[in-house]
């Protein structure tokens, strides 16, 4: 690869797959672990509530034979346990939504990395493509930092971001190649300009 690039002057095409794979490695497993932990917390808090309610029933059934003594405030314990369940459920749902958001942002990289807009058919400016991809990666890293992912995860995201300049170079390479081919086509000036003027607002 080095010989091809340095001695022959060939353009090396950066692999989008590896960019997305690095991001997936950075966030998928850690976030899945956090999500599983949150689900376990929900289950444990639900079991804790059941335990309190069971002890409450036994307590009141045995009250006559045992004597009063100092009463246990089961109502307060039950209220606190229910609140804990709600808090843990909210956290579990929040993490589930974050995982989907991270998947969406990573998938978006593949949708963005095209010289031509797949929906409109318009030619896209290289800077705009890379800027949009950069914003997606920044968002992914921001979530990773906010969720306290480790240094290894953050470095993998940075590694993915470092490939963007090479991707921009690839898009410019494709752009010049397309321009060269269009210039050789028997088009009128208006037709030729129309091909490239489509990218003005992309």
DSSP string, 81-128: HHHHHHHHHHHHHHHHHHHHHHHHHHHHHHHH--SB-TTT--B--HHH
Residue 20: which H helix or E strand, with range? helix 16-61
Quote the pLDDT of residue 183.
79
Contact assessment for residue 116 and residue 122, using Cβ atoms and an 8 Å cutoff: yes
Beta bridge partners of 116: 123
CA atoms of 15 and 13, how far apart (whole Å): 6
What pTM does this model have? 0.78
Beta bridge partners of 123: 116
Regions of the chain where pLDDT drops below 50: 1-12, 200-202
**Residue 77, CA distances (Å) to 57, 72, 84, 136, 155 in order:** 13, 9, 11, 45, 44
Dump pLDDT digits (tens) for 84-121: 999 999 999 999 999 999 999 999 999 899 877 777 77
Quote the pLDDT of residue 6.
44
Contact assessment for residue 117 and residue 53, using Cβ atoms and an 8 Å cutoff: no
Contact assessment for residue 30 and residue 149, using Cβ atoms and an 8 Å cutoff: yes
CA atoms of 26 and 113, how far apart (whole Å): 20
Extract the runs of DSSP E, i.e. beta strands, from the chain. Answer: none
Dump pLDDT digits (tens) for 66-77: 656 677 788 999
Q: Domain-by-domain residue ranges, the chain?
A: 24-185
């Amino acid at each position: 690869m080095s010989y091809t690039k340095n001695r022959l002057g060939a353009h090396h095409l950066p692999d989008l797959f590896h960019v997305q794979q690095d991001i997936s490695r950075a966030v998928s497993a850690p976030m899945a672990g956090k999500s599983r932990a949150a689900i376990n917390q929900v289950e444990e808090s639900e079991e804790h509530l059941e335990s309190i309610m069971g002890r409450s029933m036994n307590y009141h059934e045995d009250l006559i034979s045992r004597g009063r003594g100092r009463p246990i405030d089961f109502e307060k314990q039950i209220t606190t346990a229910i609140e804990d369940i709600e808090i843990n459920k909210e956290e579990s749902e929040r993490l589930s939504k974050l995982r989907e958001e991270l998947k969406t942002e990573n998938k978006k990289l593949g949708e963005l990395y095209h010289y031509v807009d797949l929906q409109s058919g318009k030619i896209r400016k290289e800077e705009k493509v890379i800027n949009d991809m950069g914003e997606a990666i920044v968002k992914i890293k921001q979530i990773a930092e906010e969720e306290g992912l480790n240094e290894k995860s953050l470095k993998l995201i940075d590694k993915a971001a470092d490939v963007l300049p090479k991707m921009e170079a690839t898009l410019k390479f494709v752009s010049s190649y397309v321009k060269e081919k269009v210039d050789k086509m028997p088009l009128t000036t208006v037709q030729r300009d129309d091909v490239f003027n489509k990218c003005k607002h992309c």
